[in-house]
Amino acid sequence: MNTPSIIKERTVEYSSDSNTTASMDSQSECSESGSTSSWADTDLVEPHVGYKKVLVTGGAGFIGSHVAEYLLARGDDVVIIDEINDYYDVSIKESNLKLLKDTYPEEGRVSIYRGDICDRKLLQSIFETENIKWICHMAARAGVRPSIEDPFVYIHSNINATTHLMELAHKHGIENFVFASSSSVYGGSKSTFFSEDEVVDHPVSPYAASKKTCELLAYTYHHLYQLKVTGLRFFTVYGPRGRPDMAPFKFTDRIYRGVEMQQFGDGSSSRDYTFISDIVDGVVRSIDRPYDYQIFNLGKGDGTSLKTFINLVQKNVGKKAIIKILPDQPGDVPYTCADVAKAKHLLGYRSKIAFEDGIKMTVDWYVNKYARSQETKEAVVNTICALPSAVAV
Ligand code: NAD
């Protein structure tokens, strides 16, 4: 096993560019507040470069399946646990798994377990059977609005599941535990851009509260058992195979099919949309660098207004949107923009994909893969293998 070593580096100085606020039609830039950052003197952890077998929870989902694909492509093996719930069309999740299995059919490259992370017996048997040392925990109930309607499922799948996983992680000597948090934790913030040094004690939805809770529990497991834990606050992720409940997919789908779409607010709200390959890069950099306990923003680092976003989808789909304007929704954050200075410094993370390019790739995937597969109603082959204690598929 290649043990990561610590490199002492001089503090990197960041430019003190002033903040630029979002305008209706143009992209706005987020600046970085590196000069007074708490992490500036943190020792850098050298990346682990050897082979890994990684447990990817939520590997049937959007981000998890992309991370698994990347790890497999570079030669690591992947074990997936996913309950494949029906929060959105399960055929998307099943085709994500099929893609992984078809691309890497060799024995031991991808092992897939269908089941709930809170199923202690199942989880225990996976740890014992697979001899896992690295964890990438992407499974969760996502979505702000549904969490207001049914908070209990978020307590189960986000808080309970993460606790189950960390319990086993420390008992099995896991090298690094990386998990998905969310930019939603900044919900109550008045800042124009969000840095990890902010106090995020005012989550405005059960979803955000569940992610903040996971960050706190992660610290506790680090403190008690020296588990190496990194939490990643993703900022609105989009791209091919994206979640159908999120705006990039929804808008593309509605505009493509000529169906009326809802726009919440006047179009001036702004999001830091991050293309999936940038997120995967940040996740993998985090897996490779077992920091003691760290929280990182992973975003693009600049915002796009809703109006600009809709215009770009229209342009790429080649159709005009039919828009119904509605008031802002409770729990929605009007403006999200990541300060990514910390991830740049400690992980070497840089977002590379411009929003114009990312949305083009997303629309291309939707039109040429998703819409086409819906039309031909291709059968999805079941690719799940199961332990005796796993739910039969
Ligand atoms: P996703 O819904 O596509 O994937 C999550 C997967 O977890 C699903 O396949 C689901 O079936 C599985 N899952 C949920 N509860 C489970 C349980 N109890 N046991 C086993 N499997 C379970 O979501 P995603 O967009 O890929 O998000 C991945 C992670 O990133 C989540 O933790 C999410 O909260 C976080 N996140 C995502 C975004 C984004 O923009 N997509 C933004 C911020 C944070």
CB of 279 closer than 6 A to ligand 1? no
For the entire predicted model, the pTM comes to 0.89
- pLDDT tens digits along 227-276: 999 999 999 999 999 999 999 999 999 999 999 998 888 998 888 999 99
Is residue 44 included in any domain, yes or no? yes
Q: Of the residues 67, 79, 85, 273, which should be mutated to test ligand 1's pocket, given the most ligand atoms within 8 Å of the CB?
A: 85
Q: Whose C-alpha lies nearest to ligand 1, atom 33?
A: 142
58 close to ligand 1 (CB < 6 Angstrom): yes
Question: Three-state SS across the chain?
Answer: CCCCCEECCCCCCCCCCCCCCCCCCCCEECCCCHHHCCCCCCCEECCCCCCCEEEEECCCCHHHHHHHHHHHHCCCEEEEEECCCCCCCHHHHHHHHHHHHHHCCCCCCEEEEECCCCCHHHHHHHHHHHCCCEEEECCCCCCCHHHHHCHHHHHHHHHHHHHHHHHHHHHCCCCEEEEEEEHHHHCCCCCCCECCCCCCCCCCCHHHHHHHHHHHHHHHHHHHHCCCEEEEEECCEECCCCCCCCHHHHHHHHHHHCCCEEEECCCCCEECCEEHHHHHHHHHHHHHCCCCEEEEEECCCEEEEHHHHHHHHHHHHCCCCCEEEECCCCCCCCECCECCHHHHHHHCCCCCCCHHHHHHHHHHHHHHHHHHHHHHCCCCCCCCCCCCCCCCC
In a domain, 385, yes or no: no
Q: Which atom of ligand 1 is nearest to the CA of 87?
A: 2
Q: Determine, yes or no, domain membership for 387.
A: no
Query: For residue 219, what is the domain's CATH number?
Result: 3.40.50.720
**9, part of any domain:** no
Ligand 1 in reach of 85 Cβ (< 6 A): yes
Residue 5 lies in a domain: no
What is the residue-averaged pLDDT of the chain?
87
For residue 117, give the ligand 1 atom closest to its CA.
Answer: 19
Q: Is residue 140 in contact with ligand 1, taking CB distance under 6 Å?
A: yes
Decide whether any atom of ligand 1 lies within 6 Å of the 164 Cβ: no
For a substitution probing ligand 1, which of 117, 234, 235, 250 has the most ligand atoms within 8 Å of its CB? 234
57 alpha carbon to ligand 1 midpoint, in Å? 9
Domain that holds residue 131: 22-328+335-376
Q: Is residue 274 part of a domain?
A: yes
Closest-lying ligand 1 atom to the alpha carbon of residue 88: 2
Query: For the chain, how many structural domains are there in total?
Result: 1
For 124-180, the pLDDT digits (tens) are 999 999 999 999 999 999 999 899 999 999 999 999 999 999 999 999 999 999 999
Mean pLDDT, range 345-365, rounded to an integer: 98
- CA of residue 58 to ligand 1 center, whole Å: 6
Q: Is 147 in the pocket of ligand 1 (CB under 6 A)?
A: no
Of the pLDDT bands very low, low, confident and very high (cuts 50, 70, 90), residue 383 is low
Residue nearest atom 41 of ligand 1, based on CA coordinates:
237
Query: Residue 15 — pLDDT band, cuts 50, 70, 90?
Result: very low
Q: Evaluate: CB of 157 within 6 angstroms of ligand 1.
A: yes
Is residue 392 a part of any domain in this protein?
no
**Confidence category of residue 30, pLDDT binned at 50, 70, 90:** low
- Higher-pLDDT residue of 392, 187: 187
The yes-or-no verdict on residue 224 having pLDDT over 60 is yes
pLDDT, tens digit (0-9, with 9 covering 90-100), for 296-313:
999 999 999 999 999 999
User: Does residue 116 belong to any structural domain of this protein?
Assistant: yes
